[in-house]
Structure 1
């Protein structure tokens, strides 16, 4: 594929891929231009975040932990306890029994960031993270932005979901965290499939979570197995070894510190739990540039995004964070990877 620039900060320069010994490479279909159907965002109608606790079937590590018992304080990682409810499964406040920090529901989501509840202090993130906190980008993400990824080899959400399910099959019936869920494109697919006892739609962007909530309301998706959480992917608010699966669609390259994030994912996964992610690989002519490392450092410092030049780099990232059994599949600049927490 000739070099094409795709979709702004969320999509780095894409170049034709070459086969790697680490990955299976799919035959790339010619991109077709299409228009997304127009959605009418509705006002958030949910009065509280709804979570239902129910058993999870045969999953890695034995019986799955579901419901509020998997949530932890992002400061000290101790389990959170419910301090306010408006119904049997509707939670509006949580508290850490160790540091006594309280976490309140913000609109349609639980804010489980370290800075939750602060009045003066605010967190400034890299440009690539702040971009997706914008109301405009959050509104446009499923209305044309994400569709541009097809030019980089992304098969499309439904196909990507089917591909992810193959890797995630051993974890069905348990808890899945859709990390950096954006407007909830995959979170809604997970929730609608009813393959998991609990789906956590997690993102740092408040506006993305509001969009997710609007789409959930618009599509009439049941909330008994879905909870929206605002959190930092490098400080995940979950009890260690409590989650069966983590999915991250088109997000890895946007994380400020991929190693910190993957280390956190490794921490929260149960033994035998699975991490599945998609991202871009930029290779082709770049592989022969003598100033490759300098180019990457400049790009990362300027945009806050990370360029990956080989499947080997992604495998190293997973291995150094304690995950094993790395697998991946390629299609153009698209790569889907999978790795497992050792049993």
Structure 2
């Protein structure tokens, strides 16, 4: 999700980090592989290593014979109650596996609150199940909950990012992201603020991840994501689940996730610091956060009082939050992430940061 600003050139410049810088499909089962052993892990890692090293400057070798934390995390129930962050278990299931059919229910192992799935997604928001309570969200969030915007997202909306915002396009962005995600290939990945699931499909079809979680707050976006998933040829839908959640209250067990991707979304989050702090919490040590967004540099980056005015206007208008590169780096550092690095193209930026080991 994003709002388009500006026009950019087409030349990519690597910035050193820090200074180094969703009627249903037969057998569609949302949570079939949360604990499924990775039977083809060695083959996957070998193939992905060959592919990744062909495009990346690093010459690091992945030891495919040595068990690591990624294999363990893929076999662990990562879904959690967004209230107390403890694991949710399918009702009536005496085992640890979370495997569900449409309209299954789950219960928090601690506070005992129940959560329910429909034919499309599992709702793991705090207010899930509330009958009378409703919560207002900023216009910048509400717009993406409208069916029209969800329908248009991959029918012109997302494409405009390349024309006016310097975004290189989904395929190129996917290739760039894979380079940053090399250390966690074979693990699980959260496609945060997934919208209509453009990158969810790319991650799933790549075969590089054992589990792909498509996560968004918008019900209509998740419906559109589900429709596109059904239509996509060659997509292994059995390793994809759809979850409705708040980016600032992520329903995953702490230190259980290998990677989080957020494409064209960070500037739409009401509180980037709350969101990135949550991402840091759920990442396992060594886990990777990759995001794309728009940046504001220039005069805003050099005159602090103008930056303050900009942020106050954002608060008053419930608008999007556009940060500078230095602010993004500082944000990641403040949330406990290290090794910030980025690639830029005008107002477009892809950033990566890691949870310390």
| TM-score (ref. length: structure 1) | 0.85
Aligned to 1:180: 193
Aligned to 1:311: 325
1:298 lines up with 2:313 in the alignment? yes
Aligned residue runs from structure 1 range 276-287, under 5 A: 276-284=290-298, 286-287=300-301
Which of structure 1's runs of 4+ aligned residues deviate more than 6 A? 17-21
CA–CA separation in structure 1 for the residues paired with 2:279 and 2:135? 22
Deviation at 1:122, TM superposition (A): 1.7
CA–CA separation in structure 1 for the residues paired with 2:236 and 2:106? 23
Over residues 48-90 of structure 1, what are the superposed CA-to-partner deviations in whole Å (9 max), with x where a residue is unaligned? 52422323556863533236711000000111111168x9943
CA–CA separation in structure 2 for the residues paired with 1:55 and 1:167? 25
1:219 lines up with 2:232 in the alignment? yes
Aligned to 2:55: none
| Structure-2 change in CA distance of 1:328 and 1:60 (3 Å) | farther
| Structure-2 change in CA distance of 1:269 and 1:298 (3 Å) | same
| SS of match in other structure, 2:222 | helix
Aligned residue runs from structure 1 range 117-136, under 5 A: 117-136=129-148
| SS of match in other structure, 1:207 | helix
| Structure-2 change in CA distance of 1:278 and 1:186 (3 Å) | same
Choose the corresponding residue for 2:251, options 232, 237, 253: 237
Choose the corresponding residue for 1:54, options 36, 40, 59: 36
Over residues 223-271 of structure 1, what are the superposed CA-to-partner deviations in whole Å (9 max), with x where a residue is unaligned? 2110000000100000000000000000000001100100000000010
CA–CA separation in structure 2 for the residues paired with 1:242 and 1:88? 15
Aligned to 1:161: 174
Aligned residue runs from structure 1 range 1-343, under 5 A: 10-14=2-6, 44-45=24-25, 49-52=30-33, 53-56=35-38, 57=41, 61-66=69-74, 69-83=77-91, 89-91=99-101, 92-150=104-162, 151-220=164-233, 221-284=235-298, 286-287=300-301, 291-308=306-323, 310-343=324-357
Contact kept in structure 2, 1:200 and 1:229, CA below 8 Å: yes
CA–CA separation in structure 1 for the residues paired with 2:256 and 2:90? 18
| SS of match in other structure, 1:283 | coil
| Structure-2 change in CA distance of 1:268 and 1:94 (3 Å) | same
Contact kept in structure 2, 1:22 and 1:312, CA below 8 Å: no
CA–CA separation in structure 2 for the residues paired with 1:254 and 1:202? 14
| Structure-2 change in CA distance of 1:62 and 1:246 (3 Å) | closer
- What is the CA RMSD across the aligned residues, in angstroms? 2.7
Alignment length (residue pairs): 316
Contact kept in structure 1, 2:77 and 2:98, CA below 8 Å: no
Contact kept in structure 2, 1:168 and 1:245, CA below 8 Å: yes
Deviation at 1:124, TM superposition (A): 1.5
Select between 157-166 and 284-293 the one with higher mean Cα deviation.
284-293
| TM-score (ref. length: structure 2) | 0.81
Deviation at 1:20, TM superposition (A): 9.4
CA–CA separation in structure 2 for the residues paired with 1:226 and 1:196? 10
| SS of match in other structure, 1:63 | helix
> Which structure has the highest strand share of the two?
1
Contact kept in structure 2, 1:60 and 1:273, CA below 8 Å: no
| SS of match in other structure, 1:224 | helix
CA–CA separation in structure 1 for the residues paired with 2:70 and 2:343? 29
- Segments of 5+ residues of structure 2 without an aligned counterpart are 42-63
- Segments of 5+ residues of structure 1 without an aligned counterpart are 1-8, 25-41
Over residues 160-212 of structure 1, what are the superposed CA-to-partner deviations in whole Å (9 max), with x where a residue is unaligned? 01100000011011110000000000001111111111000000000000000
